[in-house]
Amino acid sequence: MTSAGRPWIPRLIGPALILLPLLFIQPKTYLTLTISGLAMGMLLFLVASGFSLIFGFMDVLNFAHGAFFAWGAYVGYTAMLWINKWSGWATSDSFFLNMIIFLLALMAAGLSVAVLGIIIERLVIRRVYGNHLFQIFITVGTMIVLEELIRITWGPDDEVMSVPQSFIGSWDLFDVVISKYPMIAIVIGLLIYGAMHLILKKTKLGMIVRAGVEKPEMVQAMGHNIYRYFTGVFAAGSALAAIGGGMWATFVKSIHPAMGGEVIIFALVIAIIGGLGSMTGSVVGALIVGLSYNYVAYLIPKGSLGITMILLIVVLLIKPTGLFSEGT
Amino acid sequence: MEKIHLTPVQEYRLRERAERTSGSVFYLKLFLLAFFLSVPFLFHSFEILDVILKIIVFSALVASYDILIGYTGIASLGHTLYFGIGAYLVGIFMGKFGLSSYGHLALAVLIGVVLSGVLSVFIGFFSLRIRTIFFAMVTLAFLEFVFILSSQLRFLTGGDDGLSFKLPGILAIDYSLGRFLGLEVTGRIISYYLILLVALILFLLMLRFVHSPFGRVLKSIRDNEQRSIALGYKTYLFHIMASSFASCVASVAGGCFAIWVGFVSPESTLGVPIMLDVLLMVIVGGMGTLYGGIFGASFLMVMRAFLPKVQGLVAALLPGVPLAVRLSERWLFYFGLLFILIVYFFPKGLVGTAQEFVHKKRNEEIG
């Protein structure tokens, strides 16, 4: 945490900032905005956490991460169409069947992009460990190739993402409009965060990865083949980006080949704000960015990206290594 | 007569000086300059002139980027931000406020340079402090941010439609000076020579910069940062200064680009695709050479000019194969592959590899 003497002060800043927009926004609107902000934050967390972990553990700046996100969205979209053609679960009224097809599509996206990630890591990334300049070149090249492959495979136009029947619409709680899908996204995001947290904190694998973030040479010296872990972490990070992509597509109900480039900016900012390689940092950073983006978009429609940049600058000035840079 | 003992650096400098105006490389440079000077007389088609001029402007831009990436060893992914600022200031002065006189044009370029310098010091100040890798991320985020800003601030930048403008006096397209050696000297031709002159000055400035003691310190930081710190150099300040110098050069190049095209828009000056082009030009040309920029820019610009023709050819030859047409349309895909393959096989780029070859030969002759 930030100041060792009074650890409660930084913890108060967060809630204070979240409640600050209440001065300008009606409470009902505020709640709606908060929910969509939390949902956006959770989805951004899925993208940023993989990016952050890959950088923290492997010291690789992966600009192709956004392309994995876009691939996840497209694979999820295709899986959704195919499974629905075969079963009709997406168009049925049962929430249970809707959920199953949605999770199947996400799994298809995650698994296929994990395989893609393994191929990319073996073929491309392995060449440039330890050389930041070449990493940037080669991952930017990979980003272009993957994005163009989407255009070759699926065509260059926008597609409409099919959303399961019961995810559409909203609940009305005491006059507060709560959209259904953002709530589902928040729950799924929290479950994934919980699972990651448990894996990193409670298992031997997680311990090795956390040690690798601190000192990779030491892990290697203790007799673990660190390159195998590199491949694994890269695949996991790619899969997380892909799941984020599938969920994001359902959130905005459309997909297009360049969607990765828009999200990678958020992932960069969140990773820097939270501290590279830190899970907690990713979650906090993503929620801050998601919430502030939504509040500002409501108050000043054109200032929404500006607030993200202001956050980045402020954090870099106050704590240049990121908010949670020590350990995960 | 006693022999004066020289330090290795002095010896190296003397040898460098002696070689500067001799040998095949020097004649190659002279030939290049002569070629650029005679282009309007050789080719009368506007298309070719346009491609060559863009090569000139982008050579200067890529060389300034090379100062960052090849000489200083810090990666920026937002370098075209300053190119865009330079272009936009000319556009805003000429197109938005209609201030078209030579003085205002010079003022626009000057303000662009000052603004770029200040902004890059500001960005460098909080992103170069900890790890230079942050710099790549933060600059990319800023480029994206300014891109969106330029498309949103309609009252100043004309939004997505951009700004069109007319240039003053002898630079205007419809101006004609009369005929010279069978060529009508229009405002276009005058602009061409003006921009060539500016690019040449920028190039000489950059060469001076990297060969100066300051430039040598930059190289030492690039090659061994720990040691440079131990020698007492404040690497952080050197990085910021190099970055702001490169930004000022990029800004002037942007101004030249705007003067030539007579139009600025977010897509044409600030888009991420342009940044990717510059990145590819640096890799193709080679890092840490400055001259590589000319080759990288030539390669990419010529490719871009010819690729649509190849596309038409493929479509004509294989009308029934949609996949082939799709594959020929997506030429960016091949650029992406090129990125990866060059890093695989020519990590020093074209000029870098050639230079290495020359040095090897020379060392054999000496040794």
* A155: closest chain B residue by CA: B326
Mean pLDDT for B231-246 is 91
Give the lowest-confidence range in A163-172, A207-216, A272-281: A163-172
Mark A225-252 as b/e (b = at least 16 C-beta within 10 Å).
ebeebbbbbbbbbbbbbbbbbbbbbbbe
Length reported for chain A: 328
The least confident of A249-253, B44-48, B167-171, B273-277 is B167-171
Put simply, whether B172 touches A (Cβ < 8 Å) is: no
Residues of B in contact with A306 (CB under 8 A): 145, 149
pLDDT of A6 above 60: no
- Range with the lowest mean pLDDT among A60-69, A300-309, B207-216? A300-309
**B158 SS3 class:** coil
Q: What is the mean pLDDT of chain B?
A: 83
C-beta atoms of A133 and B335 within 8 A: no
In this model, does residue B282 exceed pLDDT 60? yes
Residues 6+ apart with CB under 8 A from A10: A1, A2, A3
Chain A residues in contact with B323 by the CB 8 A cut-off are 152
Q: What is the distance in angstroms between the Cα of B168 and the nearest Cα belonging to chain A?
A: 35
Decide which of B144 and A303 is more confident.
B144
Name the band, by pLDDT with cuts 50, 70 and 90, for residue A2: very low
Measured CA to CA, the distance from residue A113 to residue A75 in angstroms comes to 8
Q: Which amino acid is at A7?
A: P
Average pLDDT, stretch A223-249?
91
Chain B: residue whose CA lies nearest to A61? B133
Nearest CA in chain A to B276: A140
Task: Name the token pair of A307.
Answer: 């607030």
Q: How far is CA B341 from the centre of its chain?
A: 22
* Contact between B85 and B115 (Cβ < 8 Å): yes
Of the candidates B27, B95, B36, B85, the one whose C-alpha atom is nearest the C-alpha of residue B61 is B85
Q: Cβ of B333 under 8 Å from any chain A Cβ?
A: yes
Mean pLDDT of chain A: 84
pLDDT at residue B252 above 90? Answer: yes
Residues from chain B contacting residue A316 (CB–CB below 8 Å): 126-127, 129, 134, 138
pLDDT computed for residue A1 by the predictor: 42
B123-150 average pLDDT score: 85
Average pLDDT over residues A81-89: 81
Q: What angle do CA A314, A319, A322 make, to 5 degrees?
A: 95
CA distance A212 to B267: 42
Residue A315: closest CA among A17, A6, A28: A17
Nearest to B73 by CA among A244, A132, A43: A132
Region of poorest pLDDT, from A253-262, B244-253, B355-364:
B355-364
Q: Does B276 touch chain A (CB under 8 A)?
A: yes
Strands B163-164 and B263-264, by their bridges, are antiparallel
> Given this model, what pLDDT does residue B182 score?
65
Residues of B in contact with A141 (CB under 8 A): 336-340, 343
Which residue, B135, B9, B152, is CA-closest to B77?
A: B135
Over residues B272-297, the mean pLDDT reads 87
| Position A16 pLDDT exceeds 60 | yes
Q: Which residue of B has its CA nearest to A301?
A: B152
Q: Which residues of B touch A308 (CB under 8 A)?
A: 141, 145
In terms of Cβ atoms closer than 10 Å to its own Cβ (0-12, 13-18, 19+), residue A198 is: exposed
pLDDT tens figures, B81-101: 999 999 999 888 887 776 677
B134 and A271 within 8 Å at the Cβ level: the answer is: no
| Tokens standing for residue A156 | 């260059």
pLDDT value of residue A75:
94
Residue of B nearest to A55 (CA): B133
Closest Cβ opposite residue A140 in set B142, B148, B276: B276
Q: What is the mean pLDDT of residues A41-58?
A: 90
Say whether residue B154 is in contact with chain A using an 8 A CB cutoff.
no
Please report the pLDDT score of residue A24 as a whole number.
73
**Is the CB of A137 inside 8 Å of chain B's CB atoms?**
yes
Q: Is the pLDDT of residue B147 over 60?
A: yes
Interface contact flag, A312 B69, Cβ < 8 Å: no
CA distance A108 to A99: 14
Q: Give the A:B interface size as CB pairs under 8 Å.
A: 101
- The alpha carbon of residue A59 and the mean position of all alpha carbons in its chain are separated, in whole angstroms, by 19
Work out the minimum CA distance from A138 to partner chain B, whole angstroms.
5
B248 pLDDT higher than 90: yes
Instruction: Tell which residue, B120, B293, B123, B135, has the closest CA to residue B206.
Output: B293
B141 has a pLDDT exceeding 70:
yes
Q: Which residues of A touch B69 (CB under 8 A)?
A: 133
For chain A positions 278-297, those within 8 Å of chain B (CB to CB) are: none
pLDDT (tens digit per residue) in A150-204: 988 888 888 877 777 777 777 777 766 777 888 889 999 999 999 998 998 889 8
Average the pLDDT over B130-155 and give the result.
84
When pLDDT is cut at 50, 70 and 90, the band that residue A243 belongs to is very high
A11 pLDDT more than 70: no
